[in-house]
Structure 1
């Protein structure tokens, strides 16, 4: 961010829970930004703390006033239709479109991301989406990481957007993932109940942190190999990087997930350049009919190849 500052001016008091935090960290927490974007805002003079321009490392105290000029979001018109290789529409009607998202594709535009997005791909297919939601992520009711493949549902009607957002909030949507994790889980079937929040020192990572958001992951071992296990995962909550963080905290990171401690030698042997994690199944009540609908996605070739190597087939 350089040059003239444009966007929305927000003035907020610092809450007690952020006492003693660095300015960039406090801004990231308050407005849901990455620490990098928050630091850029401070450097560009878009932040005022109690009437003065702070340094990003200055500390905030309760009751102080932060004035932040947030960057203007991309408008809906700024989403340029662009075909996305490998993006498949599994199902579509007037209310919803269910897609099978390939690896390397983001759900929607975001600061710093210049690669393909689900919304741009849908626009290229002639699929319109609901106008509800922030301008750059209209119709999006949940997301998958760029490095995670599999099923996503996007709302096409305003009615569907409202119903699906609530369904995700009250946890009536069933989200099942398959993951290959290092080693063997003990017990083979169980629940990980550990709070997650931003990593205390790395703004691009998340971690199990005391006082973080409630996060619950259920898992069941499907198949065990000498060096790894294929597990079926059901999410009760939907935190950013939840599966990756939870299994890493157990010292069984997703194979290929170098960000969260995976063995690079094993990753190379399996030919993986990303985490072995796939959104396998998605089930929810259709927003108009109320009928339960269920969708399943097959493994993409990179994950299928890694499994064959683990089984000794390749």
Structure 2
């Protein structure tokens, strides 16, 4: 273990110890710190405390930080839905409920586990836990992802993301009746200052732009297609909530009273990019998942009868 000593300054005084430490070192999560406190490896002025302890200016905190685990990703047969593949890139249709890459405490059943079983040649730029991963979609969002099979392809695809030339279109079901047919949301996104597990519209956030148009209005709901110009964490979920139309089923940004869908009703249905080697523009489209279609049809029936 490595002993880290931190002295609390005025800016952090009054915060719970787990919040204060995660603010001081963003690589530590509040849950991780709470676990360390429970294990007795965090001392405040030489004494044990609970996670709810509120730090005071001048408190000296000693943490016996555990050595990082050596993590190994195990290839798994997950019957991935591969839409396209060649020697440079692979396009996969990720199902709802699948995490994109492993993380400590969640090392199996991810898209990366399945990719490593499917093919051995994946780019190594993002390290052992994220081989080939160029961009991500949330666990409960279904749809298309591009994967790099070598470092040349990885650099080329990332450059396209940076230059905003990748086509990414999502279908979402949102609460509320959007009166106008289309719109653009241009609002910076960053970490929520009140909840580190969430993103929010913040003045010092990263530039974020989402274009949307209405596909169908169904009673108190609207079916929209969103096109990403940028790709910030939770961008569509944050932006649609910001303009007053949160995604149906969204446990993080949606209303408390929402349809239980097991997550946000969001599908990455269209993905287009320039092939790293051939320079040909490729575009792929996959239909909405069955549960998404069933929910829309159910709402159509309900509002037709009401």
Calculate the TM-score normalised by the size of structure 2.
Answer: 0.81
CA distance in 2, matches of 1:216, 1:226: 27
Query: Residue deviations 1:118-147, cap 9 Å, x none?
Result: 111112223531112132112111001001
Query: Does structure 1 residue 170 correspond to structure 2 residue 163?
Result: yes
Task: Check the 8 A contact 1:283/1:295 in 2, yes or no.
Answer: yes
CA distance in 1, matches of 2:57, 2:208: 28
User: Who is 1:101 aligned against?
Assistant: 94
User: Who is 1:215 aligned against?
Assistant: 208
Aligned equivalent of 2:31, options 36, 46, 70: 36
Query: Does structure 1 residue 184 correspond to structure 2 residue 177?
Result: yes
Residues 99-138 of structure 1 mapped to structure 2, 5 A cutoff: 99-114=92-107, 116-138=109-131
Provide closer, same or farther for how the CA distance between residues 166 and 129 of structure 1 changes in structure 2, counting only shifts above 3 A.
Answer: same
Count of residue pairs the alignment pairs up: 297
SS in 2 for 1:90: strand
User: Who is 2:259 aligned against?
Assistant: 267
Query: Does structure 1 residue 80 correspond to structure 2 residue 74?
Result: yes
CA distance in 2, matches of 1:83, 1:60: 53
Runs of at least 5 residues in structure 1 that lack an aligned partner in the other structure: 12-18
Aligned equivalent of 1:297, options 286, 289, 303: 286
**Worse overlay, 31-40 or 163-172:** 31-40
**Deviation of the 1:296 alpha carbon:** 0.7
SS in 1 for 2:129: helix
CA distance in 2, matches of 1:186, 1:68: 56
CA distance in 1, matches of 2:117, 2:156: 26
Bigger Rg, which one: 2
Residues 176-255 of structure 1 mapped to structure 2, 5 A cutoff: 176-255=169-248
Runs of at least 5 residues in structure 2 that lack an aligned partner in the other structure: 6-10
CA distance in 1, matches of 2:21, 2:154: 29
Calculate the TM-score normalised by the size of structure 1.
Answer: 0.79
CA distance in 1, matches of 2:87, 2:22: 37
SS in 2 for 1:136: coil
Provide closer, same or farther for how the CA distance between residues 60 and 47 of structure 1 changes in structure 2, counting only shifts above 3 A.
Answer: farther
**Deviation of the 1:199 alpha carbon:** 2.3
User: Who is 1:89 aligned against?
Assistant: 82
Query: Residue deviations 1:205-261, cap 9 Å, x none?
Result: 222223222221111111111121111101111111111111112221111113222
User: Who is 1:312 aligned against?
Assistant: 301
Task: Check the 8 A contact 1:256/1:263 in 2, yes or no.
Answer: no
CA RMSD of aligned residues (A): 3.7
